[in-house]
Amino acid sequence: MASDQYHEPIELLDEKTQDFTRIIKSIMEEFEAVDWYNQRMSATKDPQVKALLKHNRDEELEHAAMGIEWLRRQLPEFDKELRENLFTEGPIGHHDDDGSDEQTQRHKGLNIGKPKR
C-alpha cells in the first residue's frame, strides 16, 4: 500500500512532503538497481552480458543523479552540503583538528559532540 512508506499519517503531510518521499524512495530504488546490476556484472563471465548490464547500471546512475538534483533544488541545506562535500580532493569528511571548522561548530551547538573522523 502506498501509505506504508510514510512514518506520519498521510493526512498530516502536504503535497511537497509527499513529493520528497516519492523522490527519495525513487533514488533508493535506483541505487538498489545499481547495486544489483553491479553484482550481476561481477558475476557473469560473458563479455556481452557484462556490457549490457553495465549499460543498464549506468542508466540507473543517471536516474539516481536526476533525483538527487531535484532534491538539491528543493533543499538549500542539501545544496550547501553537496557544494561543500562533492568534487573535493583529500580525505572524505576531513575537518580541521582545532574544532574551528563550521561543521564542528554546528555539532557543538547541538551538544552532540565532534563528528567522527
CA distances in angstroms from 82 to 10, 57, 104, 106, listed in the order given:
29, 23, 17, 17
CB of 60 to Fe ion, least distance (A): 5
Regarding 22 and contact with Fe ion (CB under 5 A), the answer is no
Q: Please identify, using beta-carbon distances, which residue of 37 and 60 lies nearer to Fe ion.
A: 60
Provide, rounded to whole angstroms, the least separation between the CB of residue 90 and Fe ion: 32
Among 63, 72, 95, 107, binds Fe ion (CB under 5 A): 63
Nearest approach, Cβ of 92 to Fe ion (angstroms)?
Answer: 26
For 39, 41, 61, 86, 93, the CA distances from 116, given in Å and listed in that order, are 30, 34, 28, 18, 9
Residue nearest to Fe ion (CB): 63
DSSP per-residue letters across 79-100 = HHHHHHHSS--SSTT---TTS-
Binding site for Fe ion (CB under 5 A): 30, 60, 63
